[in-house]
Amino acid sequence: MKKNTSIFIPGNEYEQEYWSKGILVAGVDEAGRGSLSGPVVAAAVIFPMGTVNELGCRDSKVLPHAKREQLFLQIQQKAIAIGIGIIDNDIIDQVNIRVATRMAMTKAIEQLSQSPIHALIDGNYFEHQSIPFSTIIKGDHHCFSIAAASIIAKVTRDAIMQEIDSKVGSLYYFAQNKGYGTEAHRNAIRMHGPSKYHRTTFLTKIIDNE
């Protein structure tokens, strides 16, 4: 099967492989894996069979904020099911980010109102006992459904980080950095110490280098 290699407008070739057999699929991706604070959020998105990427969904990281917000609403209108999985920073510290990401993806799939027969997972690692799946490296660059899931996950997580920012009085600039390790964020951690929203297992080098 010929795969779409465009990083800008992912096609539905991966989905079509299953749609042609009458198999419904869900694209699954996460946001926040590399953040120093806040949850990891995963989304699962199922589109009707034959849907094309007329919305222009692509990897959420290359989209401006306003476009992500617009696509977030449009994806909700087009999709037949969307699931969200959220794993908080405390759990991330307990189980490690790899396991927490898998947990978030599993929860997102389980939250779907319509169960897919096959899941298309961004990355190269996943496990699930009951749903057949395929992993796709850089799936958000090549697969329409995964790109859509990346947008849902990113916008959902950004809203969570905005809310956290309001709770801590913008002390760590979460509204701007979304928990990622910008210089201002790292300096704030050194100055004020970690908040209850930080992933303490991610902060060893920052704190040790005070």
Q: 210 pLDDT exceeds 70?
A: no
- Spatial neighbors of 32 by CB under 8 A, at least 6 apart, are 38, 39, 40, 41, 153, 157, 178, 179
Partners of residue 11 on adjacent β-strands: 143
End-to-end CA distance of the chain: 53
Helix (H) or strand (E) run with residue 81 in it: strand 81-87
User: What's this model's pTM, rounded to 2 decimal places?
Assistant: 0.92
Name the architecture of domain 13-208.
2-Layer Sandwich (3.30)
pLDDT at site 198? 97
Average pLDDT over residues 83-102: 97
pLDDT at site 208? 63
Q: 6 pLDDT exceeds 50?
A: no
pLDDT at site 7? 47
pLDDT digits (tens, 9 = 90+) for 149-187: 999 999 999 999 999 999 998 899 999 999 999 999 999
Biggest alpha carbon distance in the chain?
58
Task: Report the side by side order of strands in the sheet with 40-46.
Answer: 81-87, 40-46, 25-31, 118-122, 133-136
Mean model confidence pLDDT for the chain? 91
Token representation of residue 12: 């539905």
